[in-house]
Every structure is written in structure tokens, then in C-alpha cells.
Structure 1
């Protein structure tokens, strides 16, 4: 019956007749998907491309570093060609002369002294700041801290040159005038002190006033002066008429 399985002896005979499966050869048809095969080839292609770019860059650098070969041009005079060669190799000639020239003892001492000064300066900075950087000197501000007023500088910058002489002369004159006033004035009464304080307070008030208020105060002052002058003139006229 066709649907029944053959006996083991028959199956063994058939296997021997067909033979074992042969190994896969290159002649076999590759059933790998094209997309997957492209991914497998991409790595080799990338490595090859990188190597080509690297070789091209190396060749370009070699061409750039190679000194240009100077040759005399057709119709060029020997004098012009010599000047062109000297101009082209002028830097190399100067470097060669400097390299062959011995260094004097004075230059050696100067170099050593500069190195010593540099190391001493670094050592001094390390002693003062302890090798700290700007990040170590950062201010630690608390949350919500607000500056109530700008900083006040109690010291003036150091004067130099011509400004130093002018400043010294001003200080000297101020000291002399102060000594003369102290010697001549002597006793200062309480009324004088009160008057000085009153003037200072008026000056402060005037400085703190707005421009419009200052203008109104000036107008009022002028009006008071005019009234006083008119009253005085009227008084003089009355005195003349009575006499």
C-alpha cells in the first residue's frame, strides 16, 4: 500500500543507493538575503575606504612638506634666478646660521637667571595661595543673601609718574593750610559749630532734592530777595520824603 512505510531493509538499501550528502561547494546557489549580505560586506568596504583616505592624506602631507624644486625658467636671467633661490631659502639659511653659532656665556647666564626668577615667582605664589586656583577662591553665597550696598573703597590707587608728584604737592599744601588755620583760628565758638552743621544739613538736603523741587526753591528765594529789595527801597523813599 502506498501510504505505508517501507521496511528498514528497503530504506537502508535506498540510502546506500542515493549516497551521503556532499559538502557545500562554491558552485551552490547562495540563498543569503541581499540586505544581510550587504551588511556583511559593509565592514570590509568601510575599512578599505578609511585606508584609502589615510594613504591620500599621507601623500598630500609628503607633497606639502617636500621643498619645491627650483629650476631656472625659460628666458630667466641667472641673476634673477639666484635672487629667487636666496629669497626662497632665506629662512633655512638664517636657522642654519643660528644653529651653528655658539651661545655666549652672557646669554647662558641670562637664560639661567630668567629661569630662576620664574621658578621663584611660582614658589612665591604657591606659598601665598597654597597652590589654589580661582575655583578655590570662590565666594560661598548663602541662599537668599542680597547685597545691601556697593562696596566702599577706603584706599586710593597708587599714584605713579607725574600724578604722584601732583598728589604729593596737593597733600603738602593741604597740610600747610590746615596748620595755618589751626594756628590762626584758635578757639571755635559753639555758634560757629552750629552754623557749620546747619550749612552742612542744608547742603545735604539740597543735594537730595529733585530737580523740580530745587527749581521751586530757587524761584522762592529770588522772590523773597525781590520783596526785600522793594521794601528797603520804599523805606528809603519814605525817609527822604519825611526829611
Structure 2
């Protein structure tokens, strides 16, 4: 302690500058520690999740502003002159932002796709926000990769269409896609679904999980035209 707290004789033997410096250090150290403690407390409070006990007013605001996501569309789009791509789009119809949205795709055998990594319009590996009323699109896979992975029972068959609806609005849509203007044409097709696992949060601190799907139609066998 003799090295930290000088004796009266040592203190009086110091120069005036040394005395002032020592007094400032003695007074300033506790103040700095108090300020550091207060800053640490503020940081701790900021990092904590929302209150576990919500007031009636809090519950009313959350109830009146639910955070929801829905499929906006799914389509086969031209990527470049040689490749097509399956594109999946989410919409946020809510009045509030959906936070940290993460999307994963699974085939009907419950196998998780790795193809979309690095292909998304906005990489959502760590999550992205979707503001109220807006959409975000994801590149699921190149079409040839999609045909192999998302049709595991018969990989390689041509993907004819993808849709968020299980029933076609146009009963002749597949006929037009496969046969074109052929006067006589016959073919078979089969369908399955792609499972979409969506995880996101709300501005109020809630966390949500949404399991949904969209539908695929693949060619089954050869096309007979004449």
C-alpha cells in the first residue's frame, strides 16, 4: 500500500504538479468506474429481449399490428441466355416490418436444399428485414439443379411449371407448355410440392415460424407429337 498511498512526508515532498496529478487520479478513478458501470448496465439492458410481462396496452398494440408473411409468387424466370431459374417471392402484408427473415427450402423427402446459398437476390443466411407492404425474392436454384433435387423420385425430368396454387387456373396451360402448336400431342405429368420453412421476428420481440409450400409439375416420360 505504501507504493499506492504516499505518507504525509512523501506527499509534502512532492512538487505542486505531482500533488495535483495525484489528487486528480484519486478523485477521477471512482468516477470513471461509476461511468463504466452505468454504461455496462445500459448495454446489458439494450441487449435483453423484450419484457416477459406485457401490459394490456402492449398486448393491444401487438394484437392490432400482427406480423405476417405470405407467398407472393413462384415462377421460372430467365437467368441468362442458357439457364432458367426458379424464383420464390415473399410478401409482407402487415403494417409493421418483419425482422430477420430466413428462408429454407426442402424437397418432399424432407431434404434441405443447399442450392440457394449464394444465389439469392438478397442473401438471407443471417436474415433480412422485409418492410410493411414490400416483397423479397429468393433464387431457389437453377432449373436443371431444381429438376434433380426437388423431384428425387424421378430426377432429371423436365420442370413444366411451379405455382403457389395446387390447381391450375388454365386447364390447357400444360398442354400449351408441352405441345405448343402441335395438332396431336400426348404426354404424362406428375406433381409434388416444395416445402418452405420461414423464420422471422417482429418489432415487438416475438419470434415466428411459418411452414408452407408451393407446387411443382414435372414431365413424366416422353412426349408424343404428330
Give the TM-score band, short-chain normalised. Answer: under 0.3
Q: Which has the larger radius of gyration?
A: 1
Compare the two structures and name the one with the higher strand fraction.
2
Q: Which has the higher contact order (CA 8 A, sep 6+)?
A: 2
